[in-house]
């Protein structure tokens, strides 16, 4: 009797377990699968809206107009992307990337975003030399026109060859001579030890009988102080950044070239953004570019005035001196075009048509 009762109870227990396993267990599994699916969809949604922080390299000091523009751009990006894209701007070459290597640094994602002198990376991409062909551009308006004509060509080579996207382009005021002694003619250029920042500037100095020194910005002041160089080919903001009045005396605004910079982002990093965020970044770049071009013309005069107030004397170049320089550099322009990329020849042809030359 006891054994039969125990057997019956055991059977009832086993049956109840089986029923739970067949019924309630399916509901639990179904619920678990739904939770898993919801969790997966949530994860995908979170990834699509995931925020990114890009380290942004800037070689110039904090108060340089390019640095200020990059800080403004960082603020604009945070606003228009609702915080999805943040720039961590490092100025003064703090990341150790200072010039010619920047095109490859962004390509390889050693630094995802960088401001760079267009002609300064022309050793890797010859097309970029076009912005500093001596005396191709004769005023600020022509410099803007050249930049607009060249931009589609620059975009193509940056993306297809260098794995990066140009976000915006900024101008520099035209470059002149900053010297210890007066330079008012080609004869006065003989013997100068002048810092230059690209190949074409170096050719101008050589043509005038001087010796070019292609130094990075960080070495300019010390080289002037120690006599390694006695002059600099550059624009007014650089003169103020380096406090040239402490080591130089004269400025001749001969407008040899009008350089530009561009800020680029590694294309792989850019492509990780969703389409809406990409468009917001592109639009922010367009707005930044428009603003900086408007600001720089006034900046040139302001920076020259600061230099004058601190002891630099401006030597207004005579028409004779400018004509000498133009004739001196004609062969430089023509020889460069003979070996330049086809795209460069197209740019110059379109530019000359626009300005009537």
Q: Transcribe 10-31 into DSSP letters.
A: HHHHHHHHHHHHHTHHHHHHHH
258: left (phi over 0), alpha (psi -120 to 50) or beta: beta
Residue 132's pLDDT band (cuts 50, 70, 90): confident
3-state secondary structure 234-250: ECHHHHHHCCHHHCCCE
| Residues 239, 232: Cα–Cα separation, whole Å | 9
The stretch 182-211 carries a mean pLDDT of 94
Higher pLDDT, 252 or 12: 252
Q: What is the pLDDT of residue 236?
A: 92
Q: What is the pLDDT of residue 35?
A: 44
Residue 137's pLDDT band (cuts 50, 70, 90): confident
What Å distances lie between residue 37 and 43, 46, 159, 204, CA to CA? 10, 14, 38, 68
Q: Percent of the chain, pLDDT > 70?
A: 86
Tell whether pTM > 0.85. no
The stretch 129-133 carries a mean pLDDT of 89
Q: Edge-to-edge strands of the sheet including 113-117?
A: 85-90, 52-57, 113-117, 260-266, 164-171
- Residues written for the chain: 357
Residue 183 reports pLDDT greater than 60: yes
| Residues 255, 134: Cα–Cα separation, whole Å | 9
DSSP state of 100: T
Q: What is the pLDDT of residue 241?
A: 86
Residue 110 reports pLDDT greater than 50: yes
Q: What is the pLDDT of residue 323?
A: 85
Q: What is the pLDDT of residue 33?
A: 44
pLDDT in tens, 285-335: 999 999 999 999 888 999 999 999 999 999 999 989 988 998 899 899 999
Q: What is the pLDDT of residue 140?
A: 86
Mean pLDDT of all residues belonging to the chain: 87
Residue 28 reports pLDDT greater than 50: no
Q: What is the pLDDT of residue 49?
A: 62
Contact 195, 217 (CB under 8 A): no
The stretch 64-78 carries a mean pLDDT of 95
Domains and CATH numbers, the chain: 50-171+258-310 (3.40.190.170)
Higher pLDDT, 357 or 332: 332
Question: Tokens standing for 233?
Answer: 């080919």
Residue 221 reports pLDDT greater than 90: yes
Q: What is the pLDDT of residue 21?
A: 42
């Amino acid at each position: 009797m006891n054994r039969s009762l125990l057997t019956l109870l055991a059977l009832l227990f086993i049956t109840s377990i089986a029923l739970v396993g067949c019924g309630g267990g399916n509901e639990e599994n179904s619920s678990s699968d739904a939770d898993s699916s919801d969790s997966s969809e949530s994860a995908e949604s979170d990834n699509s809206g995931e925020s990114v922080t890009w380290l942004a390299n800037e070689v110039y000091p904090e108060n340089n107009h390019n640095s200020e523009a990059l800080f403004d751009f960082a603020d604009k990006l945070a606003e228009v992307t609702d915080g999805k894209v943040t720039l961590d701007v490092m100025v003064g070459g703090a990341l150790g990337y200072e010039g010619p290597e920047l095109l490859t640094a962004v390509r390889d994602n050693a630094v995802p975003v960088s401001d760079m002198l267009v002609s300064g990376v022309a050793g890797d991409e010859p097309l970029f030399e076009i912005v500093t062909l001596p005396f191709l551009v004769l005023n600020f308006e022509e410099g803007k026109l050249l930049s607009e004509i060249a931009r589609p060509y620059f975009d193509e080579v940056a993306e297809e060859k260098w794995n990066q996207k140009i976000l915006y382009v900024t101008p520099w005021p035209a470059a002149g001579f900053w010297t210890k002694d007066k330079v008012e003619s080609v004869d006065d250029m003989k013997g100068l030890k002048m810092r230059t920042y690209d190949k074409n500037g170096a050719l101008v100095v050589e043509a005038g009988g001087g010796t070019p020194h292609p130094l990075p910005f960080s070495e300019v002041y010390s080289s002037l102080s120690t006599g390694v160089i006695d002059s600099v080919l550059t624009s007014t903001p650089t003169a103020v950044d380096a406090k040239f009045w402490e080591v130089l005396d004269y400025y001749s605004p001969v407008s040899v070239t009008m350089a530009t910079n561009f800020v680029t982002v590694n294309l792989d990093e850019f492509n990780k953004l969703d389409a809406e965020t990409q468009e917001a970044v592109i639009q922010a770049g367009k707005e930044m570019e428009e603003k900086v071009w408007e600001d720089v013309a006034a900046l040139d005069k302001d920076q020259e005035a600061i230099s004058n107030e601190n002891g630099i004397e401006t030597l207004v170049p005579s028409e004779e001196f400018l004509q000498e320089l133009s004739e001196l550099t004609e062969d430089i322009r023509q020889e460069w075009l003979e070996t330049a990329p086809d795209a460069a020849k197209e740019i110059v042809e379109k530019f000359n048509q626009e300005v009537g030359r």
